[in-house]
């Protein structure tokens, strides 16, 4: 009788340990999958920039500072590609800011605004930005789930031998476009 009880306890503990292990592995894989999604979208955006720059250069030749800022930010983002999520987020935030300034500056050029190639690149860039935002949400959700599991006291015994660390969230850079002012409405 006691042998069966001991065996049942061992089976329950082993099942619990396997369940925890599988949960940690699943969450870690989801974080890696989320980061992969962000990485793909960031590479797509980086690949769009040279063609956009070629289109814009002809119209904005004297806006050299803006063009150089985008080129330098792209180079920094490319070199940060193998860095940590924090380093990558910082570099990509600078690139987003530089692209925002480029698009805002382009608004002052009517011929450029009417150029179909520029409009196509701008639309493609907006699509990629939306995809980056969705990928970032997925990644941050996966990191949140992993971090919750890692922080649970009962799981502390399991996470250390498995070398599972908390994930780092990918924060968006500063807004590249000014926020719209919201009027205050008084309710009476």
In a domain, 87, yes or no: yes
Q: Look up the domain containing 96 and give its range.
A: 2-162
pLDDT average, residue stretch 42-47: 90
pLDDT average, residue stretch 88-113: 85
DSSP-assigned letter for residue 183: -
In a domain, 169, yes or no: no
Q: What is the CATH number of the domain that holds 27?
A: 1.20.1440.20
CB 69 within 8 A of CB 95: no
For residue 52, pLDDT beyond 60: yes
Helices 2-57 + 85-106 axis angle, to 10: 30
Residue 11: per-residue pLDDT:
93
Residue 6: per-residue pLDDT:
92
Residue 9: per-residue pLDDT:
92
Encode burial over 36-70: b for 16+ CB neighbours within 10 A, e otherwise: ebbeebbeebbebbeebbebbeebbeebeebbebb
Mean pLDDT, the chain, rounded, equals 80
For residue 177, pLDDT beyond 50: no
In a domain, 184, yes or no: no
pLDDT average, residue stretch 88-114: 84
For residue 123, pLDDT beyond 70: yes
Matching residue, tokens 């949140």: 144
In a domain, 178, yes or no: no
Out of 71-85, 153-167, 169-183, pick the least confident: 169-183
Name the more confident of 129 and 186.
129
In a domain, 125, yes or no: yes
In a domain, 185, yes or no: no
Matching residue, tokens 């040279």: 50
In a domain, 172, yes or no: no
Band of pLDDT at residue 149, cut at 50, 70 and 90: confident
Q: How many domains does the chain have?
A: 1
pLDDT average, residue stretch 89-96: 88
Residue 180: per-residue pLDDT:
39
DSSP-assigned letter for residue 176: S
- The length of the chain is 188
For residue 112, what are its two tokens? Answer: 């450029």
Matching residue, tokens 């962000």: 38
pTM of the model: 0.73
- By percentage, how much of the chain surpasses pLDDT 90? 14
In a domain, 50, yes or no: yes
Name the more confident of 85 and 183.
85
Q: What is the DSSP string of 31-45?
A: HHHHHHHHHHHHHHH
């Amino acid at each position: 009788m006691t042998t069966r009880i001991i065996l049942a306890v061992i089976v329950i503990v082993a099942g619990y340990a396997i369940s925890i292990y599988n949960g940690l592995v699943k969450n870690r894989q989801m974080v890696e999958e989320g980061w992969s999604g962000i990485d793909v979208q960031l590479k797509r955006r980086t690949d769009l920039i040279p063609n956009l720059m070629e289109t814009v250069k002809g119209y904005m030749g004297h806006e050299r500072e803006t063009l150089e800022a985008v080129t330098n930010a792209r180079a920094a983002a490319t070199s940060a590609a193998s860095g940590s999520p924090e380093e990558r987020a910082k570099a990509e935030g600078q690139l987003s800011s530089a692209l925002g300034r480029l698009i805002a500056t382009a608004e002052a050029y009517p011929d450029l605004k009417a150029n179909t190639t520029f409009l196509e690149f701008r639309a493609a860039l907006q699509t990629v930005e939306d995809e980056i935002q969705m990928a970032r949400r997925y990644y941050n959700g996966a990191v949140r789930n992993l971090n919750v599991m890692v922080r649970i006291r009962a799981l502390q015994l399991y996470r250390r031998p498995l070398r599972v660390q908390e994930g780092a969230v990918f924060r968006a850079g500063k807004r590249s476009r000014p926020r719209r002012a919201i009027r205050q409405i008084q309710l009476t």
